[in-house]
Amino acid sequence: MRAGLDFHPPAGSLMRRFYIPRMVQIEILSGPDTGKVLDLGPGTHTIGRAKTNDLVLALDSVSGQHLEIQIEASGLLRFKDLGSTNGTWTGGVQVKDGEWFPGSELRVGDCSLRHLDSSAVATTSPGASATDDAGDDVHRRAREAAMSDKKKGGPLTMVLGVVLISGAAGAAWWTFGGGGSGGEEGKGTAGKAGSGGTAVVSFDAIDNYGSFEEPEVWTLPKGVSLESGLVQNESGRNEIRLSKSFPMDDGALEISATVAGMSVRPVLSWGEDDAQEVVLGSWEAQDLSKGSSTLPLPANAKWFQISLILNGNGSLSNLSVQSAAGAPTKASTPFGSALSSGANLFLTGPLGDLLIVRGQGGIWSASDHGMTFTPSGESTLAVSASEALSQSGSFLILGDGGPVGNARGVRVDQSPGLLIGDSSQRFMLRFESPATVLGGQEAASFLVLTPVTLLWDLREVITDAARLTQEINRAARSGEVRNLLASTARLLRELPLDEVKVQEALLLSRNAIEAGRQDFSNLQLRASGALFVGAIAQLDGLNQQVLELAARFPGTNIAGEAKELSAVLESALGDLRSENEAQAKQYRTRVQSALATTYPVLSAWIKKEAN
């Protein structure tokens, strides 16, 4: 945040003031000294945890020397953060220096302070005019509004309105900046309104930081540069973030920008706490490369933050965020409400927030037992659970072999969905077509090509799981191992709702597999004996038993090893049969040779019959 509004009388002005200094009063609003009021006279004073300060705040969140305030004889009070650890804040925005206006508050660490008095009484000299008095009154009211946390459009919109006032008797310049005579002019477009020559500066909802003229307020990762108001993304996916929060005054935000060569997806996070420290959720607006996008936010949003996801090699400039009218679509649920806006969804219950989904490229609609997301082409969704829901239950990515906990670096291919929460409050996302899910610290994300169903009424799912459990028990009793393993695999992959039932199914499967491994060991032993003696009939029978064992345990190590043993047996059988055939042929040749010598007539007849 820049410094506050400064008043600079022009050369030759008829405005003259005689100030009668008096003590400035600073009230402590929180902490161990709540209610204490400190009187400070003109001069420089320090505030901090160390005992050497003029105002000592015994809080760990306050730095040793946290804040410096300077009181001028005219009554003007300025502040400067001394490089504190936790910063100095006003209206939810971190500030470094500026003017501290009467009636406004500053927060240092976890302690809030209020400036109670203007610290000076002004008496107009005989040469001062009524116009001078009016201008001074406007100056006073504008300064107070500038530090108010009830202003519209954020901390920089304190100059939205009159910034240049001229009258018949003289003129006064209001500058937005650091207090020099030149001052830095407010961002935006200025124009004159009316015959009085009033200049107006307008700011958007993010105080024109989208002009990218102040790179220090943007967090830029490697691969992204900002120069001369132009953001350049070299390649790949990167995210830039504006390191400020802004008041949410209307129901929606309209976002636009000049984009070339890449996609730009705005992500808007919001909260409702006055300290602007707790983010309740994040939603995603449509790709700005396709034009402007309007995103309604939940009605409880008091402030918002913005980040931009850049994808591709391209540039971005002229980002604008304007307040707009609008509200998310609301649907009633058995536990609270569901708010949706495009691909974004926000579920709340009686105890607070539950589930947040952000994305783009589709729309949510209510169904009998939950919500259904219908994508428009290729869509992306990111699902996150509230802290309360995550702590009470689990966040599982379903997949072959059983669910996997959501965490950074986790990847599950061919996943059928997600399972979030516990038995008291549980949600299931089912993918019509399996998807690759990427885990994250806050959210699990996936590409969507076919509809996704979000279920909060899991009665049918629980019934399916119970039926599947019964089938597993029946197959175990009847020795139908193939059905037992297939049903257990489905229970683990799609319906792991009851951990006890899952463990029981796994135990039955392990017992069946152990029995199968014992059967395989016996077949191996018998096969080695048959191979040693070269018993073709015995080897042939063993091979059939090995193949049957492999068919009973599909997808297991037993099946793989059994198929390998079958290949060995078939090779041995082939060799033995070839060897026996060669020996039989050789024997026939010797017999025919002997007959030809001793019994030529008989030998000729045999050859004739053989042909």
The predicted structure's pLDDT at residue 491: 95
> pLDDT tens digits for 85-119?
888 988 777 888 888 888 888 999 888 999 885 43
Does the structure show a pLDDT above 50 at 401?
A: yes
Does the structure show a pLDDT above 70 at 228?
A: yes
- Average the pLDDT over each of 63-72, 82-91, 161-170, 432-441 and give the range with the smallest value: 161-170
Residue type, 318: N
Local confidence band at 5 (pLDDT 50, 70, 90 cut-offs):
very low
Does the structure show a pLDDT above 80 at 184?
A: no
> pLDDT tens digits for 251-267?
999 999 999 999 999 99
What is the mean pLDDT of the segment spanning 600-604? 67
Q: What is the longest distance spanned by two Cα atoms in the chain?
A: 161
Local confidence band at 36 (pLDDT 50, 70, 90 cut-offs):
confident
Local confidence band at 377 (pLDDT 50, 70, 90 cut-offs):
confident
Q: Closest by alpha carbon to 225, among 316, 309, 318, 307?
A: 316
Does the structure show a pLDDT above 60 at 348?
A: yes
What is the mean pLDDT of the segment spanning 132-140? 41
The predicted structure's pLDDT at residue 129: 40
- Average the pLDDT over each of 12-26, 127-141, 207-221, 494-508 and give the range with the smallest value: 127-141
Three-state DSSP class for 391?
helix
- Average the pLDDT over each of 175-179, 231-235, 579-583 and give the range with the smallest value: 175-179
Map tokens 């950074």 to a residue. 408
Who wins on pLDDT, 589 or 364?
364
What is the mean pLDDT of the segment spanning 181-195? 35
The predicted structure's pLDDT at residue 606: 64
Does the structure show a pLDDT above 70 at 74?
A: yes
CA distances from 318 to 142, 152, 222, 460, 555 (A): 28, 21, 22, 51, 57
Could you tell me the two tokens for 582?
Answer: 């060669």
> pLDDT tens digits for 287-313?
999 999 999 999 889 999 999 999 999
Q: How high is the mean pLDDT of the chain?
A: 79
What is the mean pLDDT of the segment spanning 472-488? 93
Does the structure show a pLDDT above 90 at 541?
A: no
Could you tell me the two tokens for 92?
Answer: 């939810």
Does the structure show a pLDDT above 70 at 156?
A: no
Who wins on pLDDT, 430 or 37?
430
**Against a cut of 0.75, is the pTM above it?**
no
d(CA 65, CA 44) in angstroms, rounded, equals 13
What is the mean pLDDT of the segment spanning 56-78? 87
- Contacting residues for 248 by C-beta, under 8 A, at least 6 apart: 270, 297, 301, 302, 303, 304
> pLDDT tens digits for 217-226?
999 999 999 9
Does the structure show a pLDDT above 60 at 56?
A: yes
Who wins on pLDDT, 592 or 26?
26
What is the mean pLDDT of the segment spanning 198-207? 67
The predicted structure's pLDDT at residue 461: 93
**Bridge partners, 309 (sequence order):** 239, 265
Does the structure show a pLDDT above 90 at 602?
A: no
What is the mean pLDDT of the segment spanning 552-573? 88
* Cβ(20)–Cβ(123) below 8 Å: yes
Three-state DSSP class for 138?
helix
Three-state DSSP class for 103?
coil
Which helix or strand (DSSP H or E) is residue 314 part of? strand 314-324
The predicted structure's pLDDT at residue 133: 44
Three-state DSSP class for 509?
helix
Q: Closest by alpha carbon to 262, among 282, 234, 284, 243?
A: 234
Who wins on pLDDT, 574 or 271?
271
Local confidence band at 172 (pLDDT 50, 70, 90 cut-offs):
very low
Local confidence band at 121 (pLDDT 50, 70, 90 cut-offs):
very low
Residue type, 137: D
Three-state DSSP class for 208?
coil
The predicted structure's pLDDT at residue 109: 86
Most confident among 149-153, 529-533, 605-609 (mean pLDDT): 529-533
Name the percent of the chain in helix, strand, coil, to the closest 5: 30, 40, 35
Does the structure show a pLDDT above 50 at 159?
A: no
What is the mean pLDDT of the segment spanning 206-216? 90
